[in-house]
Amino acid sequence: MDGMPVGHGLEALFAPRSIAIVGASDDVTKIGGRPLQFLLKYGYTGAIYPINRKAGQVQSIAAYASVAQTPEAPELAVIAVPPAAALDAVKECAARGVRAAVILSAGFSEMGEEGSRLQTLIGQVAKGSGMRIVGPNCLGAIGVPQKSIATFSVALESSFPDAGSVGIVSQSGNLGSFTLRLASERGLGISRMLTTGNECDVDIADAIASLAQDPGTSVILCCMETCRNGDKLRQAMALARDAGKPLVVLKVGVSEAGSAAAASHTGALACSDAVFDAVLRQGGAIRVPSIEQLLEVGHALSVVESGRVPRGNKVAILTASGGFGVLLADAASAQGLALPRLAQRTQERVLSIVPFASPANPVDMTAQVSSKPEVLAQVLAAVAEDETCDALILQSANAFFVPRLREVFLSALTQVAREHPARLILLCARAPQDVRAQLNAMGFPVVEGIDAACATLAALVRFGAREARPAALPTEAAQALSPDAFATEAGAKQVLARAGVPVLQEVVARSREQALAAARDIGFPLVLKIVSPDIAHKTEVGGVVVGVRSEGQLIDEYESLLARVAQKAPQARIDGVLVAQMVQGGTELILGSKRDPVFGPMVMVGLGGIHAEIMKDVALQPAPVDEAQALAMLRSLKAFALLDGARGRPKADVQAAARAVAALSRFASAQERHVAEIDVNPLVVLDAGQGAYALDALLVPDHMEETP
């Protein structure tokens, strides 16, 4: 399986010409009975081969004692036998030439050492044979148009989903099944569903990639707990992005407790939520916080053609009630949507139609829309033609339940759809199911709740405004680092300076005379710092002096510093005293990188002090980033105004800061196998044109084994 493209070989899961049920049962309450029951009930037209060691018949279908005895090699095998027997079943399927297998059985890595051993052996069969294996401990797969059913999900008990263009992938079986059920009730047509379980072979990235390459899928809904292979996930997201298919992700495990539960459930390392957020954002995925938003956003994207997705966040709100307008304005603002005043010409048109309207935005059309049907069409046309806004929200509490008003709304919307086909109008409305279906068919997404409507539109805006797929940055060759780079601040800064992170002039002095010579070369004022591989926090032992302004003060402070350190850290090795140029003023940032166990080096920048530690005001991106991406990271900070000249402050040299961020990210990426963490604190950013400099730095080594 090494080198196999992500998502390869999964077609047999969704459109097999034949299916074997290993462990098939007459008892439809058992997991070996339900897939066969569903295949028969919903009319799968391919060959079905129940496998039961007693042979005979199972659910009135001729059964076989083993896969080896079937008339042909089944394309798909559904395995529903105890864990101890699953390995032999998998080996038999591989030997028979089965293309894909779904292991529904539980009792593997989630149950301890023996289960993990069995699961590893099953994964090795997949790797050696090329047969793709889903699970174990999963709820399986469904190809809806082909009625291919490899699941025992209760979601199929009473009905089968309508075929459509929305694909569902989930690591959690029940969460995926629940999403399928709710999506069907919501009126979404489904193309495929795949739940990956313990992921001994096929993982969530394979599942996403397979839907990205499926012509019958246009929107992908993903329920994700964790990720085992960061590179594969990036490749899968790139496939979806290049295909123009929205990927909507519900990533569970946001809290510390939730992350721990997800790791326990899946048996994988839990990355921090901030890392996932950065990776998903970079990959062009739309992240949502709840299963309700997953469905609403997925539904809206399935209704709205890509050409009508808004490219900006400016929205016009139309209501027949001032109160609803205020509620929507508050909800829209909370979601980051802007409500600009409509153009003066538009306001005048609205007032000419409804003299008592409030035309600025939100537009209160008043109750005239119920007494004068032509009002709605005219106001909608006026606002739809206003280029001030990128999208419209039309709110109605009850109109679609009143036959007379329903026709007014349908007629007006039909007209605006005909005259302004590229305009997105999202309806915040309650409506009967048949009317909702009619509106959806016309291209108008319908969302019932005020908060939900604004959240859905905001998600569509994020999809429309996503950046183009980032170009691959050139990979720099990793240069060998000396032990000094990890031992002291001075060594770390020398390495970073060579990598392009600017530092101030400084010299390590090993005597008072060397310190004086350095001072004469650098110039006053100066900073003195102890240099020791055994002292991590220099200030705690009195090892830092700032504001040295003369040779006499330098001599006194040099001796005093060494004496204090000798008293407070008598065992510490002393390599000298750092004599460094001192700068005054500027804005302090923290800058750093940490290698994530799944996604690799992540670069972080934030405002220093309480902004980072208490307010968590930091920006995070996978490394490396270029200067434009680094500048975007800086601009995303809540406290960016401090760098941008707030309250009469001079503007800071943000371009120099961005260059430092980009340089550190390149170094972190190149040194991924040698450097686990980089900490620059602070990076002081001076006024515009004066630069940015790392005042302190730390490199943490790593001992990852080199891959051949």
The span from the first CA to the last CA of the chain, in angstroms, equals 17
DSSP bridge partners of 133: 101
The string of DSSP codes covering 350-385 is: HHHH-TT-B-SSSEE-TTHHHH-THHHHHHHHHHHT
Rounded Cα gap, residues 18 and 77, in angstroms: 9
Residue from 66, 56, 67 nearest 18 by CA: 67
* Helical pair 551-568 and 512-522, crossing angle rounded to 10 deg: 130
Residue 307 phi, psi dihedral angles, 5° rounding:
-70, -15
Residue 237: its pLDDT value, please?
97
Query: How many degrees, rounded to 5, is the angle at CA 365 between CA 447 and CA 348?
Result: 125
Distance between CA atoms of residues 131 and 16, nearest Å: 14
Domain 9-137 shares a fold with domain 162-303: yes
> How far apart (Å, rounded) are the C-alpha atoms in residues 598 and 103?
26
Distance CA 661, CA 622 (A): 12
Strand (E) positions, 152-303? 163-170, 190-195, 219-224, 247-251, 286-288
> Packing angle between helix 204-212 and helix 230-242, nearest 10 degrees?
10
Per-residue burial over 295-325, b if 16 or more Cβ lie within 10 Å, else e, is bbbbbbbbbbeeebbbeebbbbbbbbbeebb
| Three-class DSSP category at 168 | strand
The CATH fold of domain 162-303: Rossmann fold (3.40.50)
The domains of the chain are located at 9-137, 162-303, 307-465, 505-581, 587-701
CA distance 614 to 618: 11
Q: Which letter does DSSP use for residue 472 in this model?
A: P
Please give the Cα distance from 676 to 560 (Å, whole number).
35
**Separation CA 102–CA 180 (nearest Å):** 18
Nearest to 219 by CA among 183, 171, 177: 183
User: What whole-number distance in Å separates Cα of residue 561 and Cα of residue 554?
Assistant: 10
State the pLDDT at residue 706. 43
> pLDDT at position 612, please?
67
For residue 606, give the 3-state DSSP assignment.
strand
Find the length of the chain. 708
Minimal CA–CA distance to 235: which of 267, 173, 279? 279
- 286-288 and 247-251 beta bridge pairing: parallel
Write phi, then psi, for 173 (nearest 5 degrees).
-65, -50
Residue 350 contacts residue 311 (beta carbons within 8 Å): no
CATH topology of domain 307-465: Rossmann fold (3.40.50)
- Which CATH code, of 3.30.470.20, 1.10.1380.10, 3.30.2130.10, 3.50.50.60, is assigned to 587-701? 3.30.470.20
pLDDT of residue 270: 44
Where helices occur in 43-150 by DSSP H, the ranges are: 83-96, 113-129
Question: What six digits make up the tokens of 607?
Answer: 């405002």
Q: How many Cβ atoms are within 10 Å of 493's Cβ, its own excluded?
A: 26
CB neighbour list of residue 607: distance below 8 Å, 6 or more residues apart: 587, 588, 589, 590, 617, 637, 639, 642
For residue 287, give the 3-state DSSP assignment. Answer: strand
- Containing 72, the helix (H) or strand (E) segment is none
Q: What is the pLDDT of residue 691?
A: 96
Beta strand 600-607 with 544-548 is unpaired
- Those residues whose C-beta lies under 8 Å from the C-beta of residue 64, and which sit 6 or more positions away, are 49, 50, 51, 52, 55, 70
Neighbours of 585 (CB within 10 A): 11
Retrieve residue 583's tokens: 């700068």
Model pTM? 0.90
pLDDT means over runs of 10, the chain (708 residues): 82 97 96 97 98 92 96 98 95 98 94 93 96 97 98 95 97 95 93 97 98 97 94 96 95 66 44 88 95 96 88 95 94 97 96 92 88 85 95 94 91 92 94 94 95 97 79 71 91 95 96 96 96 92 95 96 95 95 93 93 86 78 95 93 85 96 96 94 94 95 56
- CB-based contact 379:354 (threshold 8 Å): yes
Residue recorded with tokens 């909608």? 380
Report CA-CA distances (Å) from 674 to 269, 398, 700, 703.
Answer: 21, 63, 9, 6
Q: Tell me the sheet residues that pair with 636.
A: none
Contact, 429 vs 448, CB < 8 A? yes
Coil, strand or helix at 288 = strand
Q: Which CATH architecture has domain 9-137?
A: 3-Layer(aba) Sandwich (3.40)
Distance, CA of 48 to CA of 37 (rounded, Å): 11
DSSP for 484-516, written as a single string: HHHH-HHHHHHHHHHTT--B--EEEESSHHHHH
The helix or strand, by DSSP H or E, that contains position 556, with its residue range, turns out to be helix 551-568
**CATH number for the domain whose boundaries are 505-581:** 3.30.1490.20
Neighbours of 387 (CB within 10 A): 8
| Residues 133, 281, 260: CA angle, nearest 5 degrees | 60
Q: Which amino acid is at 441?
A: A
The DSSP string of 233-250 is: HHHHHHHHHHTT--EEEE
DSSP annotation of 399: G
How far is residue 242 CA from its own chain's centroid? 17
